[in-house]
Amino acid sequence: MIIFGVDPGTINTGFGIIKYNKNEFHHITSGIIKPNPKFDLPTKLEHIYNELYELLKKNKPDCFAIETAFYGKNIQSALKIGYVRGVSLLAAIHNNVETNEYSPREIKKSVTGNGGASKEQVMFMVKKLLYLKKEIKLDESDALGIAICHALKTKSLSNKSSSWKDYINANPDKVIS
């Protein structure tokens, strides 16, 4: 299964594409979509949409996963992230890709085992699970974490007996002692 993850943002939109097969993760590609800061909001949204649309078209993922909206301290920031979520979902729909949404807490828990994990802890586990040696940015790492979360959630839905204990037993090389 090829999964396309997106961490939406107007300054940086992270994307990550992984392949998940038989309890193994493989990194396909990832990066940051960074619209010109001088662009007005509609032009930034168009840029993000066009980039995601082309990445989806080129990589033909089986599914698309994105972080759900959450309300922080700044309502304007939440609204802008909502706009990016909208164009991201639209790009997936225009490529006929199934969409899924996960909360930040759910993503962190899936990737690290702790729903309150820091971005750095998520990045550490993403790099470990994908055997990445190269440096990646936080938004890129978050997008890959979203894709990993979807893979693990899909697996657990299809196999109710799956648990962290089962995963650890099946993947001892991924455990840090």
Based on the residue annotation, tell me whether 142 is a catalytic residue of this protein: no
Helix 104-112 with 138-158: angle, nearest 10 deg: 80
Based on the residue annotation, tell me whether 67 is a catalytic residue of this protein: yes
Per annotation, catalytic residue among 24, 51, 101, 139: 139
Per annotation, catalytic residue among 51, 67, 140, 142: 67
Residues marked as catalytic: 7, 67, 139
